[in-house]
Structure 1
Amino acid sequence: MRADARKNYSHLLAIARDVVTEDGVDASMRDIARRADVGLATLLRHFPTREALFEALLRTNLDALTQRAEELEASNPPDEALISWLREEVAFVHTYRGVVDLMASAHMDPDSALHASCAAVHAAGARLLRRAQAEGTARADIDGEDLFAMMSAFGWLAGQPAFAPRADHLFHVIASAILTNLSSNDKKKATG
């Protein structure tokens, strides 16, 4: 990519990030183009579909979550690594309203531009879960699919204004459903 094209791409992505942060995943492509001070055709040249735009927008965050799982796995006990990573995943899904639905559908669609990044995050979470299960600190009767579903449900739930004040409590409830040995100290960590 030429330097000017790379600069335009980066500018469009930065504007898209701002618009999507404000408006969620239903943000208008026209609004993004208008705020970037370019025509819709220019935006579509770089991002031919909404999904291509979201893939570019979310890939960095999803790749960072995957990397973070590896870092936590190397430096923390299994149960702490899992809970810390889940908390970071929840923080990410709150960045863009509606991203949970987008990720859940992309995870099930191998043709989706977001599928590879979502699959990598899913695999990272499943690996952390299996590690905690091997140590006996996570329930043995759940798998990566269950974990992904619970966190997707929590991400949606915590994004609802009526439940926002109870987000920490609800996170603890979910953590308690995953871990087998959530002690009083761990309860404070899980909600802290």
Structure 2
Amino acid sequence: MKYHLLAVGLLSLLFTSCVNLDPVEDDLQMYALGSVSDRPETEFPDNANNVIYIARPDLPAYLSNNRMLIRSEDGEIRHLGGIRWVEPLEEGVARALSEYISRAGGQFVAGYYPWPRLSNNTPMIRVRFSELSFEDDGTIHVVAFWWEGRDEEPLKGGIFEPNDITWTPGKPSTLVTAFNRILEQMG
């Protein structure tokens, strides 16, 4: 009886491993935010006032997954098939902002979402996108509120509305480039 069960188990293992003999090409394209050029060395500043933390960005709820979404003229949100973000968009925005702020100089980004803030005294930058949509005609609508401060004590803040940034419909790489330009201007 033991040999019979062992033989059946081995045969089932053999047949399940041979199910997918012909590999199918995966046409999924994945994109990440942030600069692809060489990054300059960032040194830790002598003055602790130049250290900041990038908090979790507030994005519109429909952008809470890793699908690349666009909006049609009638307001319908559509997913670009076979195209995704490498990471959740909140993490990508925080990481890219930290890169652009560090590159612009003047402040050292000690951390960003999803990593915890090192100290409650570390100033942080918060960004809330009240509007962020990529239209299927190539226009991009962005309205973002930002503030820098410690906890609920803002030091400075403002509204960010970029102008004349577009993408080419049908070319998702141009959407990523446009989003990076927006984040770089914001940084």
Same fold (TM over 0.5): no
* TM-score (normalised: structure 2): 0.25
Structure with greater strand share of residues: 2
Larger Rg: 2
Relative contact order (C-alpha < 8 Å, sep 6+): which is higher? 2
* TM-score (normalised: structure 1): 0.24
Structure with greater helix share of residues: 1
